[in-house]
Structure 1
Amino acid sequence: MSISVFNRRWAAVLLETLTRHGVQHVCIAPGSRSTSLTLEAAANSKIICHTHFDERGLGHLALGIAKVTQAPVAVIVTSGTAVANLYPALIEAGLTGEKLVLLTADRPPELIDCGANQAIYQQEIFSHHLTQSVSLPRPTPDISAAWLTSTVDRAMGELKQGALHINCPFAEPLYGGETSAYAEWSDTLGDWWQSNKPWLITGAEYTLAKQPDWGNWQQRRGVVVAARMSAAQGRQVAQWAQTLGWPLLGDVLSSSGQPLPCADLWLNNPKAQALLAQAEIVVQFGASLTGKRMLQWQANCQPQEYWLIDNFSGRLDPANHRGRRLVADISAWLQLHPAKQNLPWAPELESIANTAKAYVEKQLADKFGEAQMASRLERLLPEDGIFWAGNSLIVRLIDALGQLPAGYPVYSNRGASGIDGLLSTAAGVQRAVDKPMLAVIGDISALYDLNSLALISQCTAPTVLVVVNNDGGSIFSLLPTPQAERERFYRMPHGVNFKHAAAMFGLNYASPQNWDELQAAVKQCWQQGGILLLELQVAPHDGAQTLSQMVQDAAQF
């Protein structure tokens, strides 16, 4: 029994250390080997505990919370394959910069590789997808509490982005014992227990520096590319570009208001391409562009310099332009590089963009479906709420055909652009922000993460989850997949609807047949509250074919 008590002491020091580095939320899956971590998380008044029965969904729930709080979020799971289920979430965090702390309970070393139950090799299981890793020894009073807390302090101090894996072996017994035992071991930390600072302070923040030649560049012809960033940053970037008179190419995730709407259509236009080719400098804020034409233009543009500003490290430029990779907070960088008032140098782009927007509205006026909804998405957004964008075809339709308000919060998983964990990440985002949420995802994405409807059902504010059901992976209709094999091996039609899924998880359900019904169902949810699963059942190829045709037509504007 003394082993179980000391396990708790060890876990208490570990978790208290994490709180000194901003960990407030801890996501916990059921498990016996992780008992010490779970019970100490529950006992710590500084920690808010979240639970879910599925470790893959749990990791994405933590990811969603981290997106909003911009603070590290911890995850506790038991040993074995439970650990492996965290892989998709930590990969996404590594690509988009959220901080996750993965506390994986483990069997002690003597139970590894000998046939013991639920015992796998967990050290280095996540390979190079991690930012940091710590393999703790089995808890023993022979190791000082100061060693444990300073070891975790060092790892957390160096965690600027991505995931930290702390592997935690615990020997049995895991339950019972005299709770006052081994108090002297943790008491050696003295008044640290009453403070709020780390035992060991490490790491240094980057220093923001002003570009000495900015005064010269801001008088030249420039283009601003707005990629994934926060709502406040999106609004600031839009104002900065407008002051400079530089055209802004805004991604759906930029919260910039996309002042030149439908860019992923008209970037296929030769006139627009010729105008943009005159740019001497391109300044990109954020990473992870969505639209195909935007990505193609970004890859092919040849300005004298290409600057990319984001607080996330790494190159972030798949085209490897000549220029500057500036690691900085976007808001702070803008403040250090104020814009000088200039007239627009390419006003014709506004005319082209407005023509594209008017064309979209006219073509889709009477064509109910995913393309029409994407083009009118702004009308569905809740006041003072948030928008969650799914992956695959639907996010491309919204990017190409829609125009979201400047400064409206948009969240997504566009790092690895996977369809796994979209519902659970959206649930984490909503839980952290505690505002009404409109979420739009595809049918395959919803099926892939179906059990996370349990998390959606716990949303704390009115929530509308739109599932676009085009009976399979219709994004493959945009790709040159072999036509003879496309249906069976790519689209994979499933023939299901989501009415019974909504009932199973206690969600309200609607399946509108026209725009007025869709808008009315969404409005009712915002007014009356609750969680609504709105299934938009559409023909398999309509959205993809509509987008393809519009891209072709835009070239003639």
Structure 2
Amino acid sequence: MNLGFALSLVSEWELAGVTDAVISPGSRSGPMAVALGQSGKISTHVVLDERSAGFYALGLSRFSGMPTLVLTTSGTAAANLRPSVTEAFHSGVPMIILTADRPLEAHKFGAAQTMEQEELFSDVVLFRSSPSVPDYTNMPHWRALASRAFHEAVSNPMMKGPVQLNLAFREPLIEENPLVTPARPSQQPWYRIHSESSTQLFDELLQADRIMVVAGESDEEISREIISKCERLGWPVVAGPNSGFRLQSKSSLGSFEAFLRSERIREAILPEVIVLLGGDLASRNVNGFVAQAAENGSKIVRISNSWRWKDPANTVSDFYFGSFSSFISRLGDFRNSKSYVELVKKLDQASFRGIWESLGKSLSDPVVSAEIFSFAGRSDMIFSSSSMPIRDLEWFAPLNENQPQLYSNRGVNGIDGVIASFHGAARAHQRQNYHGRSVLLIGDLAFRHDLGSLAGLSGCDLNLLVCVTDNSGGGIFSFLPRSASLQNDQFERLFATPQHGDLEAISRGFGLYTQVIKDVASFRAELGDFREQGGVRLIIVRSDRTENVAVHKAAFDEGKRRAEDTLGIQGI
């Protein structure tokens, strides 16, 4: 698939406006050379010596302001570009360096013309990538890679400069009947970049009738004015628990996990535009809905305050680098169809009723998450472990007018160091909110990962509540297909990994006030005591992993059923 990959990259660079490519001859770089040679829009220049080729490309780019492609084969050929790439970096001249490479199996085994090339220019390029050998799995990402490389070279707000793609090709190098990934139907570049001074994107948004926001954790404070603006615009907001939108409003949605499980509903509410704000939600159903919208031609706009490229599912069509407040202020008094936001809001309300009638009054992991979110106020802080706690908050936390600040280590989603992170965040939080309370929601495995940090909590002068949902192992694995595909003893040993040692005794051993809670009334009483008395407290809620899965499923099924009934009532 090498030639198909190369042709796809070249096609994308043609759409972006690249005009020149400098090629130094070689065998391993053959697929890219052939693809460039077939281009009707990119002029090719063949230069025998790679050092000269690099500087020749530098001259082209310096005059045109557009990135010139520079192609070499593997080995020392690539190394000879170092002087020109260094000059381009320090001069702020855009270039796209294409170094052909051998596949993984050729490295570390003495294969000819094979060396480490990924780090050749690491200190003098703005961006570098070493994608795996072209295959069907990565085929959907080919054009995204080409488009990003282009924009990293010319649109980076720090400076223009060189970027490198280190491209591994496996023999046979050039196939017959290459598969080329199609461009967007609009024949626009895969990614478009917009700033606060842009006009094109906003002109297009004014033509859309259905716009939805998916809001995760953001570094931008979401004011009531912004929320009111979304209401006036008629934009429903899928509101993560740490988004700033998880409050009662005409547009905020909190029970989306249930109704987005319905294919019928998803098709009925597909928007023309989805605006992604902040981090991605944990929900596969939300992210799947975004992907479905993209596949149906919806525009997916990612808002970011910084030059941070976030598009793991290859769904984004447009990046807007600026604040969300500046983004929506550009739309003036424009508003979507009122019927769209009203429909989606009714589906959300129906799901909420179904979920909570299913959950009832028994103490469960979903109820624990909802109670904590309802308990906390504006001056309070919640810290959540990754894995199930943040998901339960995302799925079950009610719309709370006094929504608290909520944090979680979701950068790489580890469950280590959570207690220590909470302690540090609580220290900073109470410095600004002297009467505020800090709550940690954590699972038993994450708790055990960081037991040493309990020593720092004992006797400290903060108001801290640690709530451990103890289901004797990694609860999230019970939601995955492998829980049914493996023998129970294999699943328990390799994934659930229940641990020995009673958490109540361990906590008391650190001198912490500790209680095991068995019902909702006792749980609320502990929260009330914490509100009144403060101090450091640890409570444990025990549950069964298998029963926990069933509780979640029943709640989502009932929420989905209620929403589908509502959709029927609406006559859609």
TM-score by length of 2: 0.58
SS at match of 2:465: strand
SS at match of 2:391: helix
User: 2:167 maps to what in 1?
Assistant: none
2:532 and 2:196 map into 1 onto residues whose CA distance is: 45
Q: Does 1:292 align with 2:281?
A: no
User: 1:142 maps to what in 2?
Assistant: none
2:458 and 2:197 map into 1 onto residues whose CA distance is: 46
- Counterpart code for 2:227: A
In the superposition, relative to structure 1, how do residues 207 and 534 fare at CA in structure 2: closer, same or farther (>3 Å)? same
Higher relative contact order (CA 8 A, sep 6+): 1
| Amino-acid identity (%) | 21
1:250 and 1:239 map into 2 onto residues whose CA distance is: 14
Given candidates 495, 515, 519, the residue that maps to 1:514 is 519
SS at match of 1:224: strand
In the superposition, relative to structure 1, how do residues 360 and 234 fare at CA in structure 2: closer, same or farther (>3 Å)? farther
Q: How does 1:194-209 map to 2 (within 5 A)?
A: 208-209=196-197
In the superposition, relative to structure 1, how do residues 518 and 337 fare at CA in structure 2: closer, same or farther (>3 Å)? same
In the superposition, relative to structure 1, how do residues 528 and 296 fare at CA in structure 2: closer, same or farther (>3 Å)? same
Q: Does 1:372 align with 2:367?
A: yes
User: 1:321 maps to what in 2?
Assistant: 315
In the superposition, relative to structure 1, how do residues 516 and 214 fare at CA in structure 2: closer, same or farther (>3 Å)? same
**1:361 touches 1:375 (CA, 8 Å); kept in 2?**
no
- Counterpart code for 2:245: S
User: 2:254 maps to what in 1?
Assistant: 261
In the superposition, relative to structure 1, how do residues 319 and 240 fare at CA in structure 2: closer, same or farther (>3 Å)? farther
1:462 and 1:338 map into 2 onto residues whose CA distance is: 44
1:522 and 1:283 map into 2 onto residues whose CA distance is: 37
User: 1:184 maps to what in 2?
Assistant: none
Q: Tell me, which stretches of 5 or more residues in structure 2 are unaligned?
A: 1-118, 128-156, 159-193, 431-435, 563-572
**Could you tell me how far 1:410 is from its partner in structure 2?**
1.2
Residues 509-546 of structure 1: per-residue CA shift (max 9 Å, x gap): 12111101011111101111101111111123232222
- Counterpart code for 1:508: Y
User: 1:362 maps to what in 2?
Assistant: 357
Q: Tell me, which stretches of 5 or more residues in structure 1 are unaligned?
A: 1-123, 133-156, 159-205
Q: Does 1:395 align with 2:390?
A: yes
Q: Does 1:245 align with 2:238?
A: no
Q: Does 1:501 align with 2:506?
A: yes
In the superposition, relative to structure 1, how do residues 281 and 521 fare at CA in structure 2: closer, same or farther (>3 Å)? same
**1:397 touches 1:547 (CA, 8 Å); kept in 2?**
no
**Could you tell me how far 1:472 is from its partner in structure 2?**
0.4
In the superposition, relative to structure 1, how do residues 417 and 211 fare at CA in structure 2: closer, same or farther (>3 Å)? farther
Higher Cα Rg: structure 1 or 2? 2
**1:502 touches 1:509 (CA, 8 Å); kept in 2?**
yes
In the superposition, relative to structure 1, how do residues 312 and 549 fare at CA in structure 2: closer, same or farther (>3 Å)? farther
**Could you tell me how far 1:215 is from its partner in structure 2?**
4.8
**Could you tell me how far 1:376 is from its partner in structure 2?**
3.2
Q: How does 1:69-218 map to 2 (within 5 A)?
A: 208-218=196-206
Q: Does 1:443 align with 2:432?
A: no
User: 1:483 maps to what in 2?
Assistant: 486
**Could you tell me how far 1:454 is from its partner in structure 2?**
2.9
- Counterpart code for 2:429: V
**2:257 touches 2:395 (CA, 8 Å); kept in 1?**
yes
**Could you tell me how far 1:508 is from its partner in structure 2?**
1.6
Residues 93-147 of structure 1: per-residue CA shift (max 9 Å, x gap): xxxxxxxxxxxxxxxxxxxxxxxxxxxxxxx9xx99xx99xxxxxxxxxxxxxxx
- Counterpart code for 1:209: S
In the superposition, relative to structure 1, how do residues 452 and 338 fare at CA in structure 2: closer, same or farther (>3 Å)? farther
**Could you tell me how far 1:286 is from its partner in structure 2?**
0.8
User: 1:528 maps to what in 2?
Assistant: 533
- Counterpart code for 2:439: L
User: 1:112 maps to what in 2?
Assistant: none
**Could you tell me how far 1:473 is from its partner in structure 2?**
0.5
User: 2:44 maps to what in 1?
Assistant: none
User: 2:269 maps to what in 1?
Assistant: 276
- Counterpart code for 2:527: V
RMSD: 2.9
User: 2:72 maps to what in 1?
Assistant: none
In the superposition, relative to structure 1, how do residues 339 and 292 fare at CA in structure 2: closer, same or farther (>3 Å)? farther
- Counterpart code for 1:350: K
2:207 and 2:372 map into 1 onto residues whose CA distance is: 36
- Counterpart code for 1:405: N
**Could you tell me how far 1:382 is from its partner in structure 2?**
4.5
**Could you tell me how far 1:332 is from its partner in structure 2?**
4.2
**1:393 touches 1:475 (CA, 8 Å); kept in 2?**
yes
**Could you tell me how far 1:504 is from its partner in structure 2?**
3.3
2:383 and 2:303 map into 1 onto residues whose CA distance is: 24
1:224 and 1:207 map into 2 onto residues whose CA distance is: 19
Residues 192-236 of structure 1: per-residue CA shift (max 9 Å, x gap): xxxxxxxxxxxxxx9743444415514522111111125732755
1:341 and 1:419 map into 2 onto residues whose CA distance is: 42
Q: Does 1:310 align with 2:304?
A: yes
1:285 and 1:480 map into 2 onto residues whose CA distance is: 30
Q: Does 1:222 align with 2:216?
A: no
**Could you tell me how far 1:555 is from its partner in structure 2?**
3.8
User: 2:427 maps to what in 1?
Assistant: 431
**2:305 touches 2:321 (CA, 8 Å); kept in 1?**
yes
TM-score by length of 1: 0.59
In the superposition, relative to structure 1, how do residues 336 and 496 fare at CA in structure 2: closer, same or farther (>3 Å)? farther
In the superposition, relative to structure 1, how do residues 297 and 516 fare at CA in structure 2: closer, same or farther (>3 Å)? same
**Could you tell me how far 1:399 is from its partner in structure 2?**
1.3
2:492 and 2:212 map into 1 onto residues whose CA distance is: 41
- Equivalent residues, number: 359
**2:355 touches 2:559 (CA, 8 Å); kept in 1?**
no
- Counterpart code for 2:473: G
**1:270 touches 1:555 (CA, 8 Å); kept in 2?**
no
In the superposition, relative to structure 1, how do residues 429 and 334 fare at CA in structure 2: closer, same or farther (>3 Å)? farther
1:408 and 1:470 map into 2 onto residues whose CA distance is: 26
